[in-house]
């Protein structure tokens, strides 16, 4: 016990002053203070202290130790982590101090809060067994392994050293197990907190540690503590900075998000504006590119707007040119004055589908169909008219053409009718005239056989009767020949096409009669050489007859079918079927006689003329009662022109 007491006191005393010398590091002044401290220690070393035993050797060692400490200081200063350089430091230190082992251990707390220590780094001289992997030195408790005195000193900041024989039993046992003959351990303080320990082992011989060696080791531990502290501070700083950065980043992210939202909003607003612009452009484009004419005019006749379609229709190259017109003065064709438009507008507030005729730039007529409305202010005063215009000139022309053709056909029909009438009349008249002439002649011969006064006078008179009757007959005969001569040019034609054309002409009449038309056309009909207008007239006559025959038929059943077919190699047929009541069977034969009619109106010449026309073409026209009801009128036409078929 005495030995232990002695050694302890000695060690404690020896180290106490040095511990007191440990600088009080100030937060935020880490590097500087540590470095100054080290530097101060190195510069102001007291060389004389280790000169008692082997002064030169001890001094050399101390210098070498300080050289190692200096190296470490420099390294620790530059390196980002003290652990990078610790091994090299320990080795230099070990070689400089000429010890068996140099080591560093760290304190920590177990989960239950008990203080524990573990060896972290070690250097061992050649031939000395390293103890870094010794489980005894990992997670050990100084107190528990009988090193309580050591812990006590170290905690207080004191170095502790001694040789095995100087130590108490428990300490000696442990150190002997580790092969240690002499030991020197100094604490490592980090920011006034006992962080760990650093120590020298001497395994060769017992050794007395010089003050210089002790100081040098204390300097080394101090440097290491400073380095650890620095690193901890740096880490804290880095963490703080990271946190800051993270915060900044978060803030930035929020800002970014806000920014993005803003941009998005801006973009949306822009695209909305664009959409608006686009829709305006579309409207403008529609206004400009539509086929329909669009305009805006003032009630006083000024033209306020007109799109290019309307300009085109009217033959103007620019709006300005058109705008020179005042509609009150020009622009409307006679017969279609603007007053009609305004009347409609004033009485109904709008104009729907008004057909009108305007004057083009070149003076020609533009037929239009227009719809317009009046735009008024709150007081109800008309600001302007807004309207759409459709060019119906083509349609009008087509209608006029159809009308013209119908008129032409009607004219031909009238001519034919007249011809037929003359023909019929001539026949009817020639008979009695012939009879008159015959009788007159017979009289003359009978009178000649008589005798008596005045015989000659009677004979002369009767002779005149006969002559005049003959003359009348001649005139009628001429008339008849003339009427028959209406035989116009014949050209090859497609009968199906002809029927198509005719149905177009008859469309309106069919509608008026609520009659539905069916075409059953044989597509492989040969061409026939015909007087097209005459055959058209026959078809029209037959279809009209069919429609008239169905006047008492319920509207839904009014049905006309036109069929074409090939009845023989050189003969085609056209049949017009109706669903009417049909004539009495005994009347069918008489249908074609001139002046025979079942209708209140009409002369009864239609069928007679039609038959004449068809027969003049070498065909036949006949009427056949249908199986169910109605009548079929069927005519044939020879494919080859038979020439004089009369």
Partner 1 sequence: VNGESTIFLVDDDPAVLRSLTALVRVVFPRVEAYTSASEFLEAYRPERPGCLVLDVAMPGMNGLELQRKLIEGKIDLPVVFITGHGNVQMAVGAMQAGAVNFLEKPFHEQELWDSIRKGLQRDEENRRRKHRRDEVEKRIAQLSPGERQVLDLILDGKFNKEIAAELGLSIRTIEDRRSRLMQKMQASSVAELVQMAMIR
Give the residue with the Cβ less far from partner 1, 143 or 439: 439
Q: Contacts with partner 1: how many residues (CB under 8 A)?
A: 20
Give the residue with the Cβ less far from partner 1, 206 or 589: 589
Question: Element (H or E) spanning 457, and its range?
Answer: helix 455-484
Give the residue with the Cβ less far from partner 1, 430 or 597: 430
Give the residue with the Cβ less far from partner 1, 247 or 481: 481
Q: Could you tell me the smallest distance in angstroms from the CB atom of residue 454 to partner 1?
A: 21
Q: Could you tell me the smallest distance in angstroms from the CB atom of residue 635 to partner 1?
A: 21
Q: Could you tell me the smallest distance in angstroms from the CB atom of residue 568 to partner 1?
A: 23
What are the strands, taking DSSP E only, across 541-590? 559-568, 571-577
| 455 binding partner 1? (CB under 8 A) | no
Give the residue with the Cβ less far from partner 1, 427 or 629: 427
Give the residue with the Cβ less far from partner 1, 212 or 476: 476
In contact, 333 and 350? CB cutoff 8 Å: no
| 41 binding partner 1? (CB under 8 A) | no
- Pick the closest to residue 513 from 543, 538, 541 (CA basis): 543
Token pair belonging to 568: 């023989």
Task: Pick the piece of the chain touching partner 1 (CB under 8 A) from 67-75, 320-328, 396-404, 438-446.
Answer: 438-446
Q: Could you tell me the smallest distance in angstroms from the CB atom of residue 437 to partner 1?
A: 6
| 490 binding partner 1? (CB under 8 A) | no
Query: Quick one: which of 165, 247, 289, 446 contacts partner 1 (CB under 8 A)?
Result: 446
Task: Pick the piece of the chain touching partner 1 (CB under 8 A) from 136-144, 292-300, 455-463, 470-478.
Answer: 470-478
| 432 binding partner 1? (CB under 8 A) | yes
Query: Quick one: which of 158, 172, 229, 480 contacts partner 1 (CB under 8 A)?
Result: 480
Segment 391 to 430, residues that bind partner 1, using CB under 8 A: 427, 430
Give the residue with the Cβ less far from partner 1, 445 or 482: 445
Q: Rg of the chain's alpha carbons, rounded to an integer?
A: 69
DSSP state of 33: H
| 438 binding partner 1? (CB under 8 A) | yes
Q: Could you tell me the smallest distance in angstroms from the CB atom of residue 421 to partner 1?
A: 16
Instruction: Tell the burial category of 209 from Cβ atoms under 10 Å away from its Cβ (0-12, 13-18, 19+).
Output: buried
Give the residue with the Cβ less far from partner 1, 57 or 427: 427
| 646 binding partner 1? (CB under 8 A) | yes
Token pair belonging to 465: 């009767």
Give the residue with the Cβ less far from partner 1, 469 or 574: 469
Task: Pick the piece of the chain touching partner 1 (CB under 8 A) from 41-49, 435-443, 579-587, 633-641.
Answer: 435-443
Q: Could you tell me the smallest distance in angstroms from the CB atom of residue 642 to partner 1?
A: 12
Write the CB contacts of 217 (distance below 8 Å, at least 6 apart in sequence). 65, 93, 97, 159, 184, 186, 198, 200
Task: Pick the piece of the chain touching partner 1 (CB under 8 A) from 53-61, 170-178, 440-448, 596-604.
Answer: 440-448
Task: Pick the piece of the chain touching partner 1 (CB under 8 A) from 101-109, 443-451, 453-461, 532-540.
Answer: 443-451
Query: Quick one: which of 31, 49, 296, 441 contacts partner 1 (CB under 8 A)?
Result: 441
| 475 binding partner 1? (CB under 8 A) | no
| 434 binding partner 1? (CB under 8 A) | yes
Cα 420 from Cα 417, distance rounded (Å): 5
388: number of Cβ within 10 Å: 18
Token pair belonging to 62: 């101390």
Give the residue with the Cβ less far from partner 1, 244 or 435: 435
Write the CB contacts of 23 (distance below 8 Å, at least 6 apart in sequence). 33, 34, 36, 37
Cβ-count burial 291-305 (b if 16+ within 10 Å, e if not): ebbbbbbebeeebee
Give the residue with the Cβ less far from partner 1, 107 or 423: 423
DSSP state of 316: -
| 445 binding partner 1? (CB under 8 A) | yes
Give the residue with the Cβ less far from partner 1, 169 or 446: 446
HSE, CB side, 13 Å, CA atoms: give it for residue 322.
24
Q: Could you tell me the smallest distance in angstroms from the CB atom of residue 440 to partner 1?
A: 9
In contact, 219 and 189? CB cutoff 8 Å: no
Token pair belonging to 642: 């038979």
Query: Quick one: which of 435, 475, 504, 587 contacts partner 1 (CB under 8 A)?
Result: 435
- Pick the closest to residue 430 from 485, 474, 467 (CA basis): 474
DSSP state of 557: G
Query: Quick one: which of 233, 304, 436, 588 contacts partner 1 (CB under 8 A)?
Result: 436
Give the residue with the Cβ less far from partner 1, 63 or 470: 470
Give the residue with the Cβ less far from partner 1, 437 or 550: 437
Q: Could you tell me the smallest distance in angstroms from the CB atom of residue 438 to partner 1?
A: 3
| 460 binding partner 1? (CB under 8 A) | no
User: Which DSSP string corresponds to 400-434?
Assistant: HHHHHHHHHHHHHHHHHHHHHHHHHHHHHHHHHHH
Query: Quick one: which of 234, 333, 470, 548 contacts partner 1 (CB under 8 A)?
Result: 470
Give the residue with the Cβ less far from partner 1, 145 or 588: 588
DSSP state of 114: -
| 442 binding partner 1? (CB under 8 A) | yes
Give the residue with the Cβ less far from partner 1, 465 or 493: 465
User: Which DSSP string corresponds to 132-197?
Assistant: TT-GGGSSB-TTTTT-HHHHHHHHHT--EEEEGGGS-HHHHHHHHHTT-SEEEEEEEEETTEEEEE
Query: Quick one: which of 105, 473, 606, 638 contacts partner 1 (CB under 8 A)?
Result: 473
Please give the C-alpha separations between residue 323 and each of 298, 307, 311, in angstroms, as whole numbers: 11, 12, 10
Q: Could you tell me the smallest distance in angstroms from the CB atom of residue 474 to partner 1?
A: 7
| 581 binding partner 1? (CB under 8 A) | no
Write the CB contacts of 506 (distance below 8 Å, at least 6 apart in sequence). 517, 540, 543, 544
Site pattern 148..177 for partner 1 (x: CB under 8 A): ------------------------------
| 439 binding partner 1? (CB under 8 A) | yes
Cα 563 from Cα 518, distance rounded (Å): 8
| 474 binding partner 1? (CB under 8 A) | yes
Distance of CA 63 to the CA centre of its chain: 86
Question: Element (H or E) spanning 367, and its range?
Answer: strand 365-376
* Helix/strand number for the chain, H first, E second: 15, 17
**Listing from the earlier edge strand, what are the strands of the sheet with 350-359?**
303-306, 293-297, 382-391, 365-376, 350-359
The contact set with partner 1 (CB under 8 A) reads 427, 430-432, 434-439, 441-443, 445-446, 470, 473-474, 480, 646
């Amino acid at each position: 016990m005495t030995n232990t007491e002695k050694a302890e006191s000695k060690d404690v005393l020896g180290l106490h002053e040095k511990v007191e010398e440990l600088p009080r590091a100030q937060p935020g002044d880490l590097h500087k203070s540590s470095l100054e401290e080290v530097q101060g220690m190195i510069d102001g070393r007291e060389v004389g202290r280790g000169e008692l035993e082997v002064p030169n050797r001890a001094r050399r060692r101390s210098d070498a130790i300080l050289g190692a400490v200096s190296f470490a200081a420099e390294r620790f200063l530059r390196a980002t982590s003290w652990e990078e350089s610790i091994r090299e430091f320990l080795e230099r230190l070990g070689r400089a101090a000429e010890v068996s082992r140099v080591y560093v251990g760290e304190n920590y707390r177990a989960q239950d809060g008990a203080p524990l220590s573990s060896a972290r780094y070690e250097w061992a001289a050649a031939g000395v067994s390293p103890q870094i992997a010794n489980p005894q030195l990992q997670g050990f408790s100084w107190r528990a392994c009988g090193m309580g005195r050591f812990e006590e000193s170290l905690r207080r900041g004191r170095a502790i050293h001694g040789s095995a024989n100087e130590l108490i039993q428990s300490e000696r046992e442990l150190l002997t197990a580790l092969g240690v003959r002499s030991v020197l351990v100094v604490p490592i303080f980090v920011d006034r907190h006992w962080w760990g320990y650093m120590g020298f082992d001497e395994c060769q011989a017992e050794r007395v540690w010089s003050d210089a060696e002790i100081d040098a080791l204390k300097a080394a531990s101090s440097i290491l503590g400073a380095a650890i502290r620095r690193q901890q501070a740096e880490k804290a700083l880095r963490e703080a900075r990271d946190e800051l950065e993270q915060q900044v980043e978060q803030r930035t992210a929020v800002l970014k998000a806000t920014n993005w939202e803003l941009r998005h909003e801006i973009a949306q607003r822009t695209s909305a504006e664009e959409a608006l612009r686009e829709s305006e452009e579309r409207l403008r484009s529609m206004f400009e590119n539509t086929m329909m004419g669009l305009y805006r005019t003032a009630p006083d006749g000024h033209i306020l707007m007109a799109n290019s379609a309307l300009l085109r229709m009217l033959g103007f190259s620019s709006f300005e040119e058109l705008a020179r017109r005042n509609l009150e003065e020009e622009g409307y064709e006679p017969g279609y004055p603007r007053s009609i438009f305004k009347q409609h507008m004033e009485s109904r507030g709008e104009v729907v589908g008004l057909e009108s005729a305007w004057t083009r730039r070149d003076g020609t007529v533009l037929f239009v169909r227009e719809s317009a409305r009046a735009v008024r202010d709150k007081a109800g005063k008309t600001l302007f008219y807004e309207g759409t215009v459709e060019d119906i000139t083509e349609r009008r022309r087509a209608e006029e053409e159809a009308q013209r053709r119908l008129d032409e056909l009607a004219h031909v029909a009238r001519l034919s009718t007249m011809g037929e009438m003359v023909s019929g009349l001539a026949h009817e008249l020639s008979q009695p005239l012939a009879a008159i002439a015959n009788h007159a002649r017979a009289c003359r011969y009978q009178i000649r056989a008589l005798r008596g006064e005045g015989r000659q006078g009677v004979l002369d008179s009767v002779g005149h009767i006969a002559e005049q009757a003959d003359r009348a007959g001649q005139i009628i005969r001429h008339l008849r020949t003339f009427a028959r001569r209406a035989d116009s040019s014949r050209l090859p034609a497609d009968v199906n096409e002809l029927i198509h054309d005719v149905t177009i002409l008859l469309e309106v009449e069919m509608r008026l009669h609520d009659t539905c038309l069916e075409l059953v056309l044989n597509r492989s009909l040969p061409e026939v050489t015909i007087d097209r207008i005459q055959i058209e007239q026959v078809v029209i006559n037959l279809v009209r007859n069919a429609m008239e025959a169905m006047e008492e038929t319920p509207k839904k059943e009014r049905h006309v079918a036109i069929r074409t077919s090939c009845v023989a190699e050189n003969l085609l047929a056209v049949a017009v079927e109706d669903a009417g009541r049909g004539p009495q069977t005994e009347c069918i034969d008489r249908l074609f006689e001139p002046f025979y009619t079942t209708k209140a109106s009409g002369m009864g010449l239609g069928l007679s003329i039609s038959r004449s026309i068809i027969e003049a073409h070498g065909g036949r026209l006949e009427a056949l009662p249908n199986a169910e009801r109605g009548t079929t009128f069927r005519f044939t036409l020879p494919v080859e022109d038979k020439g004089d078929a009369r």
